[in-house]
Structure 1
Amino acid sequence: MPAPVSDALAALVRSGMPGAQAVLYGPDGQRTATAGVGDLATGAPYADNAHFRIGSVTKTFVATVVLQLAAEGVIDLEAPIARYLPNVVAGNGNDGARITVHQLLQHTSGLADFAPEDPSHKLPQQLDQTSDGKAYRDLTPADVVAIAMSIPPQFEPGAKFQYTNTNYALLNLLIEHVTGRPLAAEIGSRILDPLALRETYIPSAGDTALRDPHAHGYRSVDGTWLDVTDTEVAWAGAAGAIVSTGADLSRFVAALLSGKLLPAAQLAQMEQTMPMSTSTEMEYGLGLIRFRMPCGADGKDVREVWGHAGGIPGFSTLAIATPKGTAASLSINTVETNGQFSTVATALACAIA
């Protein structure tokens, strides 16, 4: 493992994180490095091929399926979502006739988030984020979309970028509507099976444990790490429910960026980005983020990688790759990270780009 990556992982743990694991993947094989612990109770490190929740990296899997369906002529990215899901995006100023599939993929729909991060927003009781997730158990993608429809839109469709989980809950419904099959089945047959990603899965409702081997996920409560590994996440669906491993994630993004999952035209669409903020370091495509990372001693050697980051109770994740088939993944066993996350991300990007 390159020294900058190992050093960054060690600094991450010294900064207070329980543990972390990084995987580098490429034509020359795979390398894994860990720091800290995967289990605070036993002191055991992240196990090789440890399972963890990938959060919003799930969105890249989902966007890939949507773009495959677009390549097959099943979905028109510029069509309004109401063409496929009539009367679903409606009420309180929300209008599915004015929001395209493309806008959902790129988070420019203007729809409100069904689980907004703004603490001033009063959530429906069933989405109280202080719970352990069990209250979410019976919520379907249609349910969380209905919750979002109770909130007025944030802005006019297409006006700007605003990351919103509701967009991908709608893409979940879209995929299931046009294929007649569950999202997990489509991701399985279109991505997991062809790439032999046997350690990646979408948990069903009530499946709160992680498959072995796995890292334990933690949340800080009054300065103490609380184990939140067993958590209900099926409700997150297309927005963030997938469980994977560093090896599987790295192979997935390497395959995607090197053109093994999408025709060239659809991959090019996926890579048409817009700024996520005033910074140009990150730009959002269709379920895919372009990262520009400063490398070299003076930071002037800017390298470009593509992928996605994710956070869900217990875990923070990053998966990045280049068109030449090199890739990296990072798992940290808490969602409450700090600035050292970006330091490790930069080290990984500089190692593969």
Structure 2
Amino acid sequence: MLAVPVSAGAAFSVESPVAAYSAAELAPTALAPSVLAPSALPPSASNGAFVELTPEVAARLDTAIQQVMREADVPGVMVSLSAPGKGTYVRSFGVADKATGAPMNPDLYMRIGSVTKTFTVTALLELVDQGKVGLDDTIDKYVDGVPNGDEITLRQLAGMRSGLFNYSADEGFYKAFTSDPDRPFTPQELLDYSFKHPVNFQPGAEFEYCNTNLILLGLVVEQEGGLPLNEYIQQNVIEPAGLRHTLFPVGAEFPSPHAHGYTNQTASGKVEDSTDWNPSWGWAAGAMISQLDDLHRWARILATGTLLTPETQAQRLITPPTTIPGAGYGLGIFNVQGWIGHNGSLPGYESLVVYMPEARATMIVMLNTDILHDGVEPSTLFGKAITQIVSPDHVYNLPVSPTPKT
């Protein structure tokens, strides 16, 4: 995948590699409801796939989360868990700003990386429902100059089966980004980094996670939706979903209060504060910003298809196997051991936004570093540690890729 924004550890996020820095404070900051009494829903509303979030379970979660923080040197993390009849767990640990020691808390804005893909593909699928685009249309109908453009369908782009080269794996892109992470990139510049390379395989032949696919889909949404992508998503996805603290920035803007992010995706390889870096290089694949409560709401909307017709949502949730054991990938959405959603990573931030239909359970993890630990995304480490406790029959895990791509 890549050095600056694509990692070998978690095949589905926009980005990131490894290093370590000083350990974070681990005292939990008290927050929104920690462990609430189970809801009034009858026990039948949820089954044994997800445990009751009792005080004893909460204590185990606190310990497991703090252990991952220590081992992976994560500055700060916030976690939200819930299921009908099982209760709610919301916690944050560590610091949002290493310089001041300001505590992490669940009201902070965070960059969400590849979770952006779920919004872009939802926008595309809304256009499918409106009859403005077809999933089996080829991309050359909308964008000129795409290698194999007369064969690659929108479905293959959304499902990561196009064969196009990932622009964020291009050495020229890496050099341009790390030498000036504040610079803006246009969608066409990103495509140019990709299109100078030969295709990796014929359309539909394989699965390969690729940010180039989403840049193309973003252009389709703009063309057929009649608005800039950020405005279309705001009006047709964010607002209908009732998300009040989610946005698609056009530059480096970052609402306050927000957590500082820390990365080693730098020209020197040293850890830097990446909070105000321009995320335009991720655009439709990874530029968005959100907050814990909004993502908790979005996870359910995404997995249940509230904004789409049942027919289109059913197509979205067809998740053929990938190169990752136990993981399938559909249309801008994955299924990892029964958890449906997406992860996200870009310099300084990671997120995990998933929903398990079997138990109607939601899990959100947000943290302020993307530095790998032993080749694995820290969001994956948290997801695994948490689900080993709350859903032992459905443990979230994205194993390290045996042959990382650079």
**Higher mean displacement: 3-12 or 327-336:** 3-12
8 Å contact kept, 1:52–1:215: yes
CA deviation string 1:272-324 (max 9, x = no partner): 11222151x211111001011xxxxxxxxxxx110101110110111001336
Which residue of 2 is the match for residue 64 of structure 1? 122
Aligned partner of 1:218 in structure 2 is: 262
Distance in 1 (CA, whole Å) between partners of 2:239 and 2:68 is 34
Q: In 2, Cα distance between the equivalents of 1:337 and 1:314?
A: 11
1:109 alignment counterpart:
162
Provide structure 1 residue ranges, at least 5 long, that are not aligned to the other structure: 293-303
Aligned residue for 2:176? 128
Partner of 1:24: 81
Instruction: Provide, for residues 167-221 of structure 1, a one-character-per-residue CA deviation record: whole Å limited to 9, x for no partner.
Output: 000001000011111111221122211222111111112xx24211111101247
Could you tell me which amino acid in structure 2 is paired with residue 310 of structure 1? G
Q: Corresponding residue for 1:297? A: none
Aligned to 1:300: none
State the alpha-carbon separation in 2 of the partners of residues 283 and 245 from structure 1. 26
Describe the shift of the 1:4–1:291 C-alpha distance in structure 2 as closer, same or farther (beyond 3 A): farther
User: TM-score of the superposition, structure 1-length normalised?
Assistant: 0.86
Gaps of 5+ in 2: 1-34, 36-57, 395-406
The residue aligned with 1:229 is 275
The answer as to whether partners of 2:163 and 2:203 remain within 8 angstroms in 1 is yes
The structure-2 alpha-carbon separation of the partners of 1:246 and 1:156, relative to structure 1 and needing over 3 Å to count, comes to same
Per-residue deviation, 1:343: 3.7
Percentage of identical aligned residues: 34
Letter in 2 for 1:144: L
The equivalent of 1:306 in structure 2 is 340
C-alpha contact (below 8 Å) 1:283/1:289 kept by paired residues:
yes
Once the two structures are superposed, residues 30-74 of structure 1 have per-residue CA deviations (whole angstroms, 9 ceiling, x without a partner) of: 542112211111212212311111000100111111111112211
Residues 56 and 308 in structure 1, CA contact (< 8 A), matched pair in contact too = yes
Q: How many residues align?
A: 327
- For 2:113, the equivalent position in structure 1 comes to 55
Distance, in Å, in 2 between the alignment partners of 1:288 and 1:4 is 30
- Between the aligned partners of 1:223 and 1:79, the Cα distance in structure 2 is 42
In the TM superposition, what is the alpha-carbon distance from 1:133 to its structure 2 partner?
Answer: 1.7
> Structure 1: which amino acid aligns with 2:327?
M
Counterparts of 1:254 and 1:241, CA distance in 2: 21
Amino acid corresponding to residue 133 of structure 1 in structure 2: P
- Tell me how far apart the structure 1 counterparts of residues 156 and 202 of structure 2 sit (CA, whole Å): 11
Structure 1 residues 50 and 30, CA, compared in 2 at 3 Å: closer, same or farther? farther
Listed as ranges, the matches of 1:247-262 within 5 Å are 247-262=293-308
The residue type equivalent to 1:195 in the other structure is: A
1:209 and 1:229 in contact (8 A); partners too:
no
Relative to 1, partners in 2 of residues 1:5 and 1:264: Cα closer, same or farther, differing over 3 Å?
farther
- Once the two structures are TM-superposed, the CA of residue 155 in structure 1 deviates from its matched residue by 0.9
The 10-residue stretch of structure 1 (56-65 or 191-200) with the greater mean CA deviation from structure 2: 191-200
> Secondary structure in 2 aligned to 1:95?
coil
Aligned twin of 1:198: 244
1:334 and 2:391 matched? no
**Counterpart Cα distance in 2 of 1:22 and 1:75:** 37
SS in 1 for 2:62: helix
3-state SS of the aligned residue for 1:34? strand
State how far apart, in whole Å, the 2-side matches of 1:255 and 1:312 are. Answer: 24
1:7 aligns with 2:63: yes
Quote how far apart the aligned CAs of 1:134 are: 1.9
**Aligned pair in 2 of structure 1 residues 108, 223: CA closer, same or farther (>3 Å)?**
closer
Structure 1 residues 67, 331: CA separation in 2 closer, same or farther (over 3 Å shift)?
same
Alpha carbon RMSD of aligned pairs, Å?
A: 2.2
State the one-letter code of the partner of 1:128. Answer: A
**Quick check: 1:25–1:247 contact (8 Å CA) kept in 2?**
no
* Contact 2:230/2:250 (<8 A) preserved: no
SS in 1 for 2:100: coil
Q: In structure 2, what is the equivalent of residue 152 of structure 1?
A: 198
For 2:390, the aligned partner's letter is A
The SS at the match of 2:278 is coil
Deviations 1:240-298 (A, max 9, x none): 0000011111111112223312221111111111222151x211111001011xxxxxx
Aligned amino acid, residue 179 of structure 1: G
The equivalent of 1:41 in structure 2 is 99
